[in-house]
Each structure stands twice: as C-alpha cells, then as structure tokens.
Structure 1
C-alpha cells in the first residue's frame, strides 16, 4: 500500500462514521450534506521511498441553508485528522490544512462547498 492510499483510507473511514462519504462525486440523488474524498499527491524524499509528504483534498457539499452543520462537519474532520498517527504500513504525522468555503451553483439548490487540503508527512514502518 502506498502512503497516499493509507491516508485516503484513514480520512475516508473517519468521515464515513459521521455522514455519507464517496470516492467519486455522486449523482443528483445523493443526500446533502456529503463528503467526497478527492485529489491526492505525494512528494518522496530524493531517491528514498521511506519518508516524504502526502496531500489529500476532502470536499464537503451541503445546502447553503445548512451552513452551521457544514461548519461542524468540517471542524470534526479537521479535528479527527489531527489525531491520525498510523496509516497501515506508514507512520503519518499531520502537518497542515487549508480550508476554503465556496458558494456552488451547480445544482438547482444553492450549495456550499468546503475544500480541505490536508498535508501529512510519512515514514515507512520498519519490517
């Protein structure tokens, strides 16, 4: 398992405890609010796959009228993400998160779209 996938699985699991969580943008039948665990990236140290940095973007979509609940959900995900220390074959250490709140008019109903960009460092566990 890669460090990217380890972080993806951890964030997916903690989000799914609280509300519907997807690894794709669901169709119009999805209930709001929901979470989409999206883009990811990694930077390994030069010539070394034992440590580096992984990034994961988490999207939260909800109705504009449900702003307080959406904020609570994003606070929950941020708080729980800070507690992640283990990722299967890797040690993970929370570094930063950036948060954006974007009005979204792609649906018939006005939505709010929260984008959380997480950054973690990783080290491979010893055998």
Structure 2
C-alpha cells in the first residue's frame, strides 16, 4: 500500500503544481493507494460556510485532478467542516478542506474502511482517522 499525505498551498498556482506532481506519481502506482490531507480547496460550494466566495475554477481544477487519478473519496463520519478559522459570529468560516481518497486497488483490497473526522483540539483542522479491514468483522 502507498499512502500519500497532502498539504496543499492556499495559492491556486501552487496547488496546480501539486496536482501535476500527483498526476506524475499516479502513473507509476499499481498498488492500493490512499491520498489524504489538507487540500486547501473545496469540491462544492456547500462545503464552505462564511468568508469569501469560492472561485469555481478552483473547484473544477480539484475535481479534474481527482478524476484524472481515478480516485474515489472515502465516506466519512463526524463534522462536515474539518477546518474552522477560530473566529465567531460574522467572522466565522468553516470549510471542508481535509479529505481522504483511494484508488480502485485500495477499494478492492480494503472493502471495509472508515474515515472519521475527530474533535478539533489545538488546531484549526480536525484530525482525520482512517481505519481499514480486509473483511467485515462478525458479531455473534
């Protein structure tokens, strides 16, 4: 298995460089691959609450990146917004910047997985925990 952790820059051009680097990486991967971290961009406008409007081209660039690598977002539990700017009232911003994706080999190898957004403590990002099993546990 290959695990790639991501910290994408806030700048759109810097993120485009990262998307290109990931594309080069994806061409050489035939093992289960998990890509996760802070992508610093949302995939849809409802994933942003407060702050400036999100530029549609940034959303489209990110979606194209994920589609190019044939990655599937892993379903999660916990808060929808994994990032908070730490402010309140009118200055409060929540976004879904942290995600985990897997390729088809990962999905085949680990059909039972869980991504959980944990409680935010001491950071503006909620920690993300990924648990995966080869087969479902049986409860008698």
Output the TM-score relative to the length of structure 2.
Answer: 0.33
